[in-house]
Structure 1
Amino acid sequence: MAVLQGAGIGEIGAVVVRYYGGTKLGVGGLVRAYSSGLKQMLPRLVTKTKMLREKGSLVCRYDQLADVEHLLQRLDVLIEGREFSELIRLTLAVPLSVTGSINKELAPMSQGQLKIDFSQ
């Protein structure tokens, strides 16, 4: 457990499998064996940074979609759903780091009409 806690990685678990049963190594030897296995694998671990996001929705016209998608991509906003009718409704996952400013960036491209609704 100390090896995982000292690795500086959040949300991690590990399973070490031994092919030999028994306790000939003793409790301390088992701890060292398991720790050694973890230490060997941690440098090979592929990690992914988890970004906290807030759900929101945005309604836009078809002629605005390309500009909206470009802005969303630039700000690392995920489009989780699209509904097409007379207007387009986008379901979004917006990084918390831009939730306060994204509507200010949408305003100039739509004369203030576009706004993400975070009240879901």
Structure 2
Amino acid sequence: MAGNPATIAFSLACSPNSPIIGWKGVIRTMKPDSYLTIAPYGETEIIIQKSRFICRAKHVATEAEAVQFVQEISKKHWDATHNCYAYHITETTQKSSDDGEPAGTAGRPILEVIHAKQCLYTAVVVTRYFGGIKLGAGGLVRAYSQGAAAAIEAAGLVKRMMHQQVVITFDYSFMGKMEHELHRTGYLLETPSFADKVSWAVWTPLGEEQKLIEQVTNWTHGQAVLSLGEAEYKDVPL
């Protein structure tokens, strides 16, 4: 099949008697259907033995974005003693750097914290301004581990799940029933639009579309029309 192997778009036409029209979805082969990561960005600061540690964590979509994040922080804090970092994109794409600290005392501890949190697509930079007191190898490991954990906590953990958009179009007579039932389901709901009929976009976890279709068919006695749109990741609070 021609096209980008990482993202293959497809379109399926449903039968005329089906309540579903215009299926348009996306198969993504490079990422899992769900994974743990962090919210877009977090930043905090800690002081350990007079050394100042500025701790930052960012959600990144690619290794190139992680590298850019590290470069931006290093440029901003060009006068820092160290800008140590680690990022974990996928199980096979990760990197860490001690940036001048003794080998294994900074970058690796940061990466191990990311692993412990089971975060993918995550980059952490811990910037240190030396305060005059040497911490020793063990102290450095503890300091950078603490800094990484603080950065991730500042950002917050989320579960990112692939969702399928389903647009439901129905008569106004079903609005009360639909509003009552949809708010009970836990689906992610957009704001409905109102024209000749009501259109309501709903996001359901990928693979659970049939369940929603059956529910809507039951609620509206088969009189609603469902259009399946794009598939994309949505953040689900833990």
Deviations 1:76-103 (A, max 9, x none): 2222242211211112222235312111
Say how many residue pairs are matched. 119
Q: CA deviation at 1:58?
A: 0.8
User: Is 1:80 matched up with 2:190?
Assistant: yes
**Aligned letter for 2:161?**
M
What RMSD over aligned residues (CA atoms) do the two structures have, in Å?
A: 3.2
CA distance in 2, matches of 1:54, 1:81: 16
User: Is 1:93 matched up with 2:173?
Assistant: no
Select the residue among 216, 221, 234 that pairs with 1:106: 216
Unmatched 5+ residue regions in structure 2? 1-110, 231-238
Percent identity of paired positions between Structure 1 and Structure 2: 26
Select the residue among 1, 4, 7 that pairs with 2:117: 7
Aligned residues of 1:76 and 1:95 also touching (Cα < 8 A)? no
CA distance in 2, matches of 1:84, 1:45: 37
Alignment of 1:1-120 (within 5 A): 1-20=111-130, 30-39=140-149, 46-96=156-206, 98-119=208-229
TM norm structure 2: 0.41
- CA, structure 1 residues 98+33, in 2 after alignment: closer, same or farther (shift >3 Å)? same
Deviations 1:34-71 (A, max 9, x none): 12422466677742333331112110111211211222
Q: Point out 4+ residue stretches in structure 1 off by more than 6 angstroms.
A: 24-29
Deviations 1:20-46 (A, max 9, x none): 28xx66888755531242246667774
Aligned residues of 2:192 and 2:201 also touching (Cα < 8 A)? yes
Higher deviation after alignment, 103-112 or 25-34: 25-34
Q: CA deviation at 1:109?
A: 2.2
Unmatched 5+ residue regions in structure 1? none
Aligned residues of 1:78 and 1:93 also touching (Cα < 8 A)? yes
